[in-house]
Amino acid sequence: MILNECGMIKYLVKIVLGMGLLYVVAGCRSTKKLQTAINKRDTNMVISQGSANPDSLKGAINILQSLEKNKIQFTTLSAKIKVQYEDKNGKQPDFNAFIRLRKDSVLWISISATFLGIEAFRILMTKDSIVIINKLDKRVEYHPFSYVTDIAKIPLNFSTLQDLIIGNPIYVGDSIVAFRQTENHILIGTVGKFFKNLLTVSEDYNLIERSKLDDIDIGQNRTADLTYSEYEKNNGVSFATYREITVAEKTKVDVSLLFKQYEFNKELSYPFSVPRNYKTK
């Protein structure tokens, strides 16, 4: 059974915003504190006292700088993503998300319910606004971009949102607290104002394989585990085509994303027209 209108929209926005990651991990923070955390530069690293030896710290800094350098630079992205989602209510219906993104400009999303075989929602986001066409109920909604913040319970701007979709590193803290190198992996522990982040990086290509986030406030007991795999090299870009996300607080949420198709830097259109008979909500 497909979710109702309100539930589907909130569910969809959570998927787009990191598959529930930000909603669960950062849900109750104040806007001012979270905005401070989001605006911090990942490369502004400060070595905390009692950390690893100087050589290890230097190695950790080099790796983090390499991750920063390897961030995906793009003009446009188009993708077809198969989304699977499971929460306390069990496995939800699979759906396909078709995404067209122009950097710092427009995010276009079309949602198709797999079992129905029809387009259910179409969404257009800019830096300032969101328009949602609900084709199931023949409705259209107009919102400021802050609508995303209201649903996700955290402040976000367009730039942060596109990094989440592209798969660039997020929530890398400003203090290195751990560094370990194994035969095939490099582990780096960082602490930011609100999150501890244990990154697992591939030794050969300096690609993120896992990001384990824990809330610094142990009273909240919120965690998130993101894995990135099945990297493909596409025109010089290393892109994780399969991602799994598990988040937990009082309940557990599991999400998997399979990028079935994707292209960078192609000319894109963003078709978006509202039928005259649709009601405005």
Run of H or E residues at 200: strand 195-202
Cα 68 from Cα 215, distance rounded (Å): 23
15, part of any domain: yes
pLDDT for 99 beyond 80 = yes
Alpha carbons 165 and 24: distance in angstroms, whole number:
17
The answer as to whether 278 is a domain residue is no
Cα gap 96→117, rounded to integer Å: 10
pLDDT tens-digit map of 176-234: 888 888 888 899 999 987 778 999 999 877 899 998 988 787 766 677 788 999 999 88
Q: 4-41: per-residue pLDDT in tens?
A: 444 444 555 445 544 333 333 333 333 333 333 333 43
- At 239-276, the pLDDT tens digits run 999 998 887 766 777 888 899 999 999 999 999 999 99
Contacts of residue 151, Cβ cutoff 8 Å, sequence gap at least 6? 9, 10, 13, 14, 17, 23
Domain membership of residue 104 (yes or no) is yes
What value does the CA radius of gyration of the chain take, rounded to a whole number of Å?
A: 19
Task: Give the SS3 label for residue 45.
Answer: coil
Per the structure, the complete domain to which residue 20 belongs is given by: 5-266
Query: CATH number, domain at 98?
Result: 2.50.20.10
* Structural domains in the chain (count): 1
First to last CA, the chain: 23
Instruction: Return the pLDDT at 52.
Output: 52
Structural domain contains residue 157: yes
- Flag whether 279 is in a domain: no
Asked if residue 280 belongs to a domain, the reply is no
What phi and psi values does residue 24 have, to the nearest 5 degrees? Answer: -80, -45
Residue 20, in any domain of the structure: yes
Within-domain flag for 83: yes
Q: How far apart are CA 45 and CA 240, in angstroms?
A: 26
Q: Token pair of 228, please?
A: 């990135």
